[in-house]
Chain A
């Protein structure tokens, strides 16, 4: 079935085309069902390809498919090629799987939206782009997918673009990603300059041709690229604003899949990173700093989706930390686990928002476990997963990363464990505020919130109690909760589920943690578990009893370290002044001056020359006669003295 790999991408693309042509006619909910079916079919093909890939011997477990030659220009030969190996397969499986669930959930969540078919149109295109990204056999195909997901992200963040904030959030996401893309493009150029090929396999076979300084440069440029996509310092603020999009979008794009594209890309080029310890260290430091900073911000946010957004940034920081420490397997492990539990948490949050008639403020929730039992149970599983409480998947994934960090850079391990504590704390705060404590939602002023325009149809029951979501939304919650809980089995080495065995052909023996003694591993695991459980208890104790604790929610943290204000001062305002200067001085004075000056010169000379056109025949005749005399005289003198 390996040769059907292209179908994985083609099916969502067909879904996209169908919705493009007939979306309006299909309407609500048929458009959503069609979209879900195509993504589901893509998942089915992925499973088939996975089973076929298992038949291939582990050391050479990969499959390349060259669809056509895309750019044949002299030495630049780019193929539209696909490449499946355990790493890409892992990505494809969880992307298509989670996409199917979130599409299904969206059928319920987006019900009643006037642009219902358009939503699924973008979602299908997004899934196709994401699959192109992970299946591309060279940097340029990956880049096509990279830009595709960025564009879909822009469309989906500003899906409710009539709302000013959503429109500007979309723009913000786009601009931040463009800044990163410059780095990615420069890295591609540099690779081509040195290797004259963009195929991953050729690049990795010619590492010695590139030279170590250039490898570091390429890695750092790629790091700039993935900083944008995966929301790392300094390009992270867009992800919090991206929460303006519909909640399924936040779950799929801004938690489970697109933002992990950066992590995937770095794992894909792991031979490059392995050849450049400097770049790896930079990545580790960036990751650790981002993880810590975002975790502190998440502790003080009021909007349920903002907390989850900063938590995503923080978890992505963890993945970068793992990559920087050479623990690619651990990064992939957390990525998969994170896709499950963060997708689950976002969908749970969406269910809460849905049930509360578009209320996103944590301070106006409380005691929801009594009203949304299914959402509560599944959300709680996600909460304990991300808080890394054993034996759920988060514990194993985060433990794996922390072990590797301890082995590679003990100082960064300390940042990591503090971040783990903060993670447990802020997620417990979130859960405590939303699901425990007293009912604060009746205080909601009527009609004051139009956060989800899609759910205007709920407005009739503005004072009614929170209600549980329909089955089409809760089934994906159950499935994700199941996988989030049991994904830890991938940590069991030697088993059929072992992620390390599975991706070993891709990463080889690039791991640090192997040299830790078993007693050290046990100690680290116990520290992790104690920290996680301890801070879960602290968080719950603090936030179930009271909903206001100003000391713990400083304005510095609430304002996200004032990063937006900083960028505004350093980049935004000077750019505005530059633009104003161009508008007020350069444009009217210099550009208009040049244009008007040329026109004026012609006008002036025309005014002068106009005087010669008297309209009197005699003047013209005199001119002709005079001219004839001059010409004749010239010729005669030439004859005499010539």
Chain B
């Protein structure tokens, strides 16, 4: 038996919403970072779903691109996070507003 594609899409939407909400409301930099990953993977799920439904391999190919970009982003992002934590422990994102105009 196969599960209806709408379930996958619904899950994707729910995951994306959780991710977006997390970025908006949480202050911890690591949590925000994980939420961003959640959003990326939610969109991956949607891509794969559409690829299956529409029999178009392009969607799955795109997932690889997203994964690669996400991996690269993690490298850079975690590097920044580590650098920040090295200077000050227990910081929240709100403490980092050096770019205030």
Do B24 and A615 touch (CB < 8 A)?
no
Do A612 and B24 touch (CB < 8 A)?
no
Per-residue 0/1 for A615-626: is the Cβ within 8 Å of any B Cβ (1 yes, 0 no)? 111100110010
Tell me which residues across on chain A come within 8 A of B98, comparing CB atoms: 615
Do A613 and B100 touch (CB < 8 A)?
yes
Identify 6 new A-B residue pairs, CB closer than 8 A, beyond the known A614-B97, A618-B24.
A615-B96, A615-B97, A615-B100, A617-B93, A618-B25, A621-B24
Do A611 and B101 touch (CB < 8 A)?
yes
Bound CA–CA A614/B25 (angstroms): 16
Q: Say if the beta carbon of A610 comes within 8 Å of chain B.
A: yes
Q: Which of B1-52 contact A (CB under 8 A)?
A: 20, 23-25, 32
Tell me which residues across on chain B come within 8 A of A618, comparing CB atoms: 23-25, 93-94
Q: Say if the beta carbon of B99 comes within 8 Å of chain A.
A: yes
Tell me which residues across on chain B come within 8 A of A621, comparing CB atoms: 23-24
> Which among A609, A610, A625 is the interface contact of B24 at CB below 8 angstroms?
A625
Do A613 and B24 touch (CB < 8 A)?
no
Interface residues of B (CB under 8 A from A): 20, 23-25, 32, 93-94, 96-101
Do A616 and B24 touch (CB < 8 A)?
no
Do B101 and A616 touch (CB < 8 A)?
no
Tell me which residues across on chain A come within 8 A of B23, comparing CB atoms: 618, 621
Bound CA–CA A569/B101 (angstroms): 59
Tell me which residues across on chain A come within 8 A of B96, comparing CB atoms: 615, 617
Tell me which residues across on chain A come within 8 A of B97, comparing CB atoms: 614-616
**What's the A-B contact tally at a CB cutoff of 8 Å?**
32
Bound CA–CA A226/B51 (angstroms): 93
> Which among A611, A613, A622, A625 is the interface contact of B99 at CB below 8 angstroms?
A613
Do A612 and B94 touch (CB < 8 A)?
no
Interface residues of A (CB under 8 A from B): 609-618, 621-622, 625
Do A622 and B24 touch (CB < 8 A)?
yes
User: Within the complex, what minimum Cβ distance (angstroms) separates A615 from chain B?
Assistant: 3
Bound CA–CA A10/B98 (angstroms): 74
Tell me which residues across on chain A come within 8 A of B99, comparing CB atoms: 613, 615
Do A614 and B100 touch (CB < 8 A)?
yes
Bound CA–CA A614/B99 (angstroms): 7
Tell me which residues across on chain B come within 8 A of A612, comparing CB atoms: 101
Tell me which residues across on chain A come within 8 A of B100, comparing CB atoms: 613-615
User: Within the complex, what minimum Cβ distance (angstroms) separates B84 from chain A?
Assistant: 12
Given A618-B24, A621-B23, answer yes or no on A610-B101 (Cβ-Cβ < 8 Å). Answer: yes
**CB nearest neighbor in B for A621:** B23
Bound CA–CA A618/B92 (angstroms): 11
Tell me which residues across on chain B come within 8 A of A615, comparing CB atoms: 96-101
**CB nearest neighbor in B for A617:** B93
User: Within the complex, what minimum Cβ distance (angstroms) separates A627 from chain B?
Assistant: 13
Tell me which residues across on chain A come within 8 A of B101, comparing CB atoms: 609-615
A-B contact pairs, 5 of them (CB 8 A): A613-B100, A615-B97, A617-B96, A618-B25, A621-B24
Bound CA–CA A145/B31 (angstroms): 86
User: Within the complex, what minimum Cβ distance (angstroms) separates B18 from chain A?
Assistant: 13
**CB nearest neighbor in A for B36:** A621
Tell me which residues across on chain B come within 8 A of A613, comparing CB atoms: 99-101
Bound CA–CA A622/B101 (angstroms): 18
Bound CA–CA A613/B94 (angstroms): 13
User: Within the complex, what minimum Cβ distance (angstroms) separates A114 from chain B?
Assistant: 64
**CB nearest neighbor in B for A612:** B101
Tell me which residues across on chain B come within 8 A of A611, comparing CB atoms: 101
User: Within the complex, what minimum Cβ distance (angstroms) separates B24 from chain A?
Assistant: 6
User: Within the complex, what minimum Cβ distance (angstroms) separates A620 from chain B?
Assistant: 10
User: Within the complex, what minimum Cβ distance (angstroms) separates A619 from chain B?
Assistant: 9
Do B94 and A616 touch (CB < 8 A)?
yes
Bound CA–CA A148/B83 (angstroms): 74
User: Within the complex, what minimum Cβ distance (angstroms) separates B36 from chain A?
Assistant: 9
Do B32 and A617 touch (CB < 8 A)?
yes
Do B93 and A625 touch (CB < 8 A)?
no
**CB nearest neighbor in A for B29:** A617
Bound CA–CA A610/B100 (angstroms): 8
User: Within the complex, what minimum Cβ distance (angstroms) separates B17 from chain A?
Assistant: 10
Tell me which residues across on chain B come within 8 A of A610, comparing CB atoms: 101
Bound CA–CA A618/B93 (angstroms): 8
